[in-house]
């Protein structure tokens, strides 16, 4: 295998230009939303709602605020009196709960088969209850957990599900049931063949076919990747990935390279992606822009990859006891791209390959229509990339604009800053003023 050397700047530009990268290149409509899910491969679903939920946030980051509920529309739901359309996404499991493009259903079959054979990884279910739940849905149509009584009485915690809920989740993970819609955030299940009519006609992919799908997805969504980043968080049908990489290298469909000064880590990208990224000198990167990202955004969900490629060591601390948190409960990374110089200037060079320049711990107070910024770090070199004084005002102004845009998305008419850590007091003032002006 021929291994070349590629500079880190080009590698980062490849990542930014990929389907999950920034600036986004999707039309700001329902078709753009469908393309984002298809090209990125998934949108992670998450329950945390201190700000807009992860799946809503990730979609908004690419296509803006769309009328109605675009994710329900992509599931074929009838909205605002209009007839339901084609189902283009469905709920299942990627590395976590996610919306997936319908074309991915076949490649979920290995996991479904494993769950049917071995049971779920996290909980057990009663076979008698499973059969009873399945029969009720077959006869009565779509049902949620609320439609089943808990014979034990009393409340049950997240990890103390009533028997029927365990059965529903098992049947869902096994592919017998799928989510047809949600009421609020509660899943409503139906028979898989009624949700996706082609269910049952799909053929189990071979290991080689699954490997090809994994690598195709990495080429499209990530652009540049190491072997251990291709199937992030997956463990089903991954055995053929190395052979698939070798075959593509042999055929000239991929190139292998390492970054200078880095411990040996072979990365892969296509000839086309490398050529396009290398040809960009930064002046073609466009106006400098900043983006407030969800912690579960597909661009940065693989923390190891982001640390390796962008030098951004990021941890979401909502799962850590408060006394041990270093920054805040739900910190949102801010990514700068385009015509910023290193340290925030506007000569169109260094920021073209992306820098995580700020971190924001925020909470949406929906009753008051206020976005509470509990803490913001800008260019401190600890929680985000260091920022020099040259051009700092321009970068602070753009970060403020991005936060204001995020506040509007969360229905906030006002932003309250509790703490801003910036290289200068002037930068902190400019950031706050820019967000208020928006």
List % helix, strand, coil for the chain (3-state, nearest 5).
40, 15, 45
pLDDT at 150: 73
Q: Would you state the pLDDT for residue 178?
A: 96
Question: What structural domains does the chain harbor?
Answer: 1-103+206-230+247-279 (no CATH), 289-437 (3.40.630)
Q: What pLDDT, on the 0 to 100 scale, is given for residue 84?
A: 52
pLDDT of residue 123: 73
Which residues does 13 contact at the CB level (< 8 Å), separation at least 6? Answer: 277, 280, 352, 353, 354
Which stretches of the chain drop beneath a pLDDT of 50? 78-83, 156, 158-159, 283, 343-349
Helix (H) / strand (E) element for 227: namely none
Q: Is the alpha carbon torsion for 196, 94, 291, 319 positive or negative?
A: positive
pLDDT of the residue at 162: 87
Instruction: List Cα–Cα distances, 23 to 17, 19, 35, 304, 391, in angstroms.
Output: 8, 10, 15, 22, 21
pLDDT at residue 346 in the model: 37
Residue 350 pLDDT:
58
Omega within 30 of 0 (cis) for the link into 354: no
């Amino acid at each position: 295998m021929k291994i070349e050397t590629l500079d880190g700047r080009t590698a980062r530009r490849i990542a930014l230009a990929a389907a999950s990268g920034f600036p986004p290149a999707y039309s700001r409509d329902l078709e753009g939303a469908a393309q984002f899910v298809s090209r990125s491969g998934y949108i992670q679903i998450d329950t945390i709602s201190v700000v807009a939920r992860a799946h809503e946030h990730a979609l908004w980051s690419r296509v803006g605020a769309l009328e109605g509920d675009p994710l329900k529309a992509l599931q074929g739901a009838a909205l605002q009196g209009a007839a339901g359309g084609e189902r283009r996404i469905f709920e299942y499991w990627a590395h976590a709960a996610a919306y997936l493009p319908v074309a991915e259903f076949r490649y979920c079959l290995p996991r479904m088969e494993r769950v049917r054979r071995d049971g779920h990884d996290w909980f057990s279910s009663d076979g008698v209850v499973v059969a009873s739940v399945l029969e009720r849905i077959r006869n009565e149509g779509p049902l949620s957990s609320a439609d089943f009584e808990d014979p034990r009485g009393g409340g049950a915690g997240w990890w103390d599900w009533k028997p029927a809920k365990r059965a529903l989740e098992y049947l869902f993970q096994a592919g017998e049931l799928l989510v047809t819609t949600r009421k609020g955030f509660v899943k409503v299940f139906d028979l898989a063949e009624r949700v996706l009519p082609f269910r049952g006609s799909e053929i189990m992919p071979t290991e080689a076919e699954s490997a090809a799908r994994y690598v195709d997805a990495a080429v499209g969504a990530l652009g540049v990747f190491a072997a251990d980043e291709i199937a992030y968080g997956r463990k089903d049908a991954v055995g053929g990935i190395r052979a698939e990489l070798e075959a593509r290298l042999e055929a000239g469909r991929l190139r292998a390279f390492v970054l200078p000064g880095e411990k040996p880590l072979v990365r892969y990208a296509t000839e086309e992606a490398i050529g396009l990224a290398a040809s960009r000198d930064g002046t073609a990167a466009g106006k400098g822009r900043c983006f407030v990202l969800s912690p579960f955004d597909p661009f940065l969900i693989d923390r190891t990859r982001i640390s390796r490629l962008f030098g951004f060591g990021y941890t979401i601390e909502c799962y850590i006891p408060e006394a041990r948190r270093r920054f805040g409960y739900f910190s949102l990374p801010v990514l700068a791209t385009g015509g910023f110089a290193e340290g925030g200037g506007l000569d169109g060079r260094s920021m073209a390959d992306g820098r995580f320049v700020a971190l924001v711990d925020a909470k949406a107070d929906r009753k008051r229509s206020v976005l509470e910024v509990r803490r913001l770090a800008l260019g401190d070199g600890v929680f985000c990339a260091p920022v020099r004084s040259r051009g700092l005002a321009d970068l602070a102004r753009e970060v403020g604009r991005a936060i204001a845009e995020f506040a509007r998305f969360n229905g906030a008419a006002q932003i309250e800053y509790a703490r801003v850590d910036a290289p200068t007091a002037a930068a902190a003032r400019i950031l706050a003023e820019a967000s208020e002006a928006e």
